[in-house]
Amino acid sequence: MLRSVSTMFIARAKSTIPIVQLPAFQIPFFRCLASYPKKFTISYNHNRGDSVLLGSTIGQVVNQAADQVGDKLAFVFRHQNIRRTFFQLNKESDQLAASFLELGLRPGERLALWSTNCYEWILTQVAAAKAGLILVNINTAYQPDELQYCLNK
Q: What is the rounded distance in angstroms from the CA atom of residue 12 to the CA atom of residue 32?
A: 19
- All structural domains of the chain, each given as residue ranges with its CATH number in brackets, are 9-33+65-152 (3.40.50.980)
pLDDT of the residue at 27: 43
Q: What is the rounded distance in angstroms from the CA atom of residue 45 to the CA atom of residue 51?
A: 12
71, with CB counted inside 10 A (0-12, 13-18, 19+), is exposed
Q: What is the rounded distance in angstroms from the CA atom of residue 84 to the CA atom of residue 82?
A: 7
Q: Number of helices (H) and strands (E), helices first, in the chain?
A: 5, 6
pLDDT digit of tens for each residue in the chain (153 aa)? Answer: 333 333 344 544 444 444 433 444 444 444 444 444 555 555 556 667 777 777 788 999 999 999 999 999 999 999 999 999 999 999 999 999 999 999 999 999 999 888 888 999 999 999 999 999 999 888 889 888 988 888 887
User: Would you say 106 and 33 are in contact if contact means Cβ atoms under 8 Å apart?
Assistant: no
pLDDT of the residue at 68: 95
pLDDT of the residue at 29: 46
pLDDT of the residue at 43: 59
- The CA radius of gyration of the chain, in Å to the nearest whole number, is 17
pLDDT of the residue at 18: 43
Classify residue 45 by its DSSP letter.
Answer: -
pLDDT of the residue at 104: 92
pLDDT of the residue at 153: 77
